[in-house]
Amino acid sequence: MASTPRASAPASKLTFLLGKVDSPADGVRDYCEYLGGALERHGFAGEIARVDWFLEGWPLALRKLWNDSRAWRGRWVVLQFTAMGWSKRGFPLGAVAALRIVKRHGALCAVVFHEPVGLSGPRAIDRVRGACQSWVVRKLHNLAEKSIFPTPLESIAWLPKSDPKAKFITIGANVIGGSATPVTGAQDEKKMRTVAIFCLSDPPCLREELADIAAAARVAKESGANFRLVFLGRGTFEASAEIKQALSNISVEYSNLGVVPAERVGAVLSDADAMLCVRGRVYPRRSSALAGIASGLPLVGYAGEAENTPLADAGLVLVPYRDGAALGAALARVLKDGGALTGLRERSRRAYQQHFSWDSIAARVAAFLGAEKE
């Protein structure tokens, strides 16, 4: 007698708990949407809930959370932590209140620490703010059943070694790249290349980043590389005048697309030949770098934080921090060698599939939360 197919088990409900909406782009929301979609293939049905204190005020927002969380008993609630997502001025005590309410109603609580340490600064108020953030991070970790860090655990000084409730799981790209144009052989060595610069920082860091881009472009041009620059993403439109001034004495073609829809970002990056990363050292939480890897691009940037992380498996060419001349020399070597481009692209594609695709991330999250065995 033929066996009757066994019905699949119902998906476990999971709620992503976010603070205020970020604009013009909300990377944390995008993270939850991509991860939630992938988790459906690993035993979870995800939904997004917000504590929108910014629009409603804390009393009303927490009252709504109290009422809504009554229905969350027994399910995983995964709070997404950034300091500014839970505070207007960087004192995110509301995140602790929100997690306490959820626990009070019997939910299983996890936290994704998009910012695993407090951020300080030169002023006294900055040091107080950083100390508050550090206390909140530790408190959330103590309250939660599970903690997910997109940074290697050994780099988090306050975290106990071999903590069983903590796990390093990479984040993925909020931009899904298409198929990059193949690069093959010497016949491509004289071709006009495209170098993407995805996102710029706000002042005062902007000045330093543009100085590095200008130095790199000048050295790469003098080294015989044939390329143009394309700027896109957050901060690029606002910096139009500064970009024009920084590149005014360099014979390099460039365009500035500003903030564009996510699907167009993927298309632009996939049509590029390389990405130039100048927003600090390349590290596992740098979403712009992950977008480049998802698009199969070589990344030319700064060393110091990618080593001994999954990023090291991607097509990275890294130079000493803030050495614009070394950055330009590395960029020229990559752009002039079609074989090197091919190899670096293949490394980025493999690293994406192994470490940074949403399905591979969802499998690790599901296993950690107990839906599957690792």
pLDDT at 309 over 70: yes
CATH number of the domain that residue 310 is part of? 3.40.50.2000
Distance CA 46, CA 15 (A): 6
Which pLDDT does position 122 carry in this prediction?
A: 84
Does 280 lie in the same domain as 363? Answer: no
Does 192 lie in the same domain as 160? Answer: no
| DSSP symbol at 352 | I
**Confidence band (pLDDT; 50, 70, 90) for 178?**
low
Does 194 lie in the same domain as 164? Answer: no
Helix (H) or strand (E) holding 46: strand 44-50
* Of 314 and 177, the one with more pLDDT: 314
Distant-in-sequence, close-in-space partners of 346: CB < 8 Å, separation ≥ 6? 315
Which pLDDT does position 121 carry in this prediction?
A: 81
Tell me how many helices (H) and strands (E) the chain has: 12, 12
Identify whether 137 is part of a domain.
yes
Mean pLDDT of the chain: 92
**Confidence band (pLDDT; 50, 70, 90) for 372?**
very low
Does 53 lie in the same domain as 94? Answer: yes
Does 124 lie in the same domain as 200? Answer: no
Identify whether 226 is part of a domain.
yes
Does 212 lie in the same domain as 115? Answer: no
Distance CA 153, CA 159 (A): 7
pLDDT tens digits along 140-176: 999 999 999 999 999 999 999 999 999 999 999 887 6
**Confidence band (pLDDT; 50, 70, 90) for 27?**
confident
* Number of domains the chain contains: 2
Asked whether 309 and 328 are in contact (CB, 8 A), the reply is: no
Identify whether 178 is part of a domain.
no
Distance CA 284, CA 170 (A): 7
Q: What is the pTM of this model?
A: 0.87
Distance CA 363, CA 234 (A): 30
Which pLDDT does position 263 carry in this prediction?
A: 81
Mean pLDDT of 250-265: 93
Which pLDDT does position 185 carry in this prediction?
A: 46
Which pLDDT does position 166 carry in this prediction?
A: 97
pLDDT tens digits along 43-84: 999 999 999 999 999 999 999 999 999 999 999 999 999 999
Q: Which one, of 332, 353, 365, 197, lies nearest residue 265 by Cα?
A: 197
Helix (H) or strand (E) holding 219: helix 205-222
- Residue 112, judged by CB atoms within 10 A of its CB (0-12, 13-18, 19+), counts as buried
pLDDT tens digits along 275-295: 999 999 999 989 899 999 999
Mean pLDDT of 185-198: 77
Provide Rg for the chain, Cα atoms: 22
Beta-strand runs (E) in 118-269:
146-149, 166-168, 193-198, 227-232, 253-256
Which pLDDT does position 219 carry in this prediction?
A: 98
Identify whether 177 is part of a domain.
no
What is the domain extent for residue 193? Answer: 186-356
**Confidence band (pLDDT; 50, 70, 90) for 374?**
very low
Q: ∠ at Cα 105 (67, 366), nearest 5°?
A: 110
Identify whether 5 is part of a domain.
no
Which pLDDT does position 261 carry in this prediction?
A: 86
Distant-in-sequence, close-in-space partners of 33: CB < 8 Å, separation ≥ 6? 48
Identify whether 6 is part of a domain.
no
Total number of residues shown for the chain? 374
Which pLDDT does position 126 carry in this prediction?
A: 92
Mean pLDDT of 110-133: 93
pLDDT at 353 over 50: yes
Identify whether 4 is part of a domain.
no
Tally Cβ neighbours within 10 Å of residue 59: 9
Does 146 lie in the same domain as 26? Answer: yes
Does 260 lie in the same domain as 124? Answer: no
Does 135 lie in the same domain as 33? Answer: yes
Mean pLDDT of 29-47: 95
Identify whether 24 is part of a domain.
yes
Does 214 lie in the same domain as 148? Answer: no
Mean pLDDT of 99-123: 94
Does 191 lie in the same domain as 93? Answer: no
Query: What distance separates the 2 farthest-apart alpha carbons in the chain?
Result: 81
Burial 286-302 (b: 16+ CB within 10 A, else e): bbbbbbbbbbbbbbbbb
Does 197 lie in the same domain as 325? Answer: yes
Asked whether 89 and 128 are in contact (CB, 8 A), the reply is: no
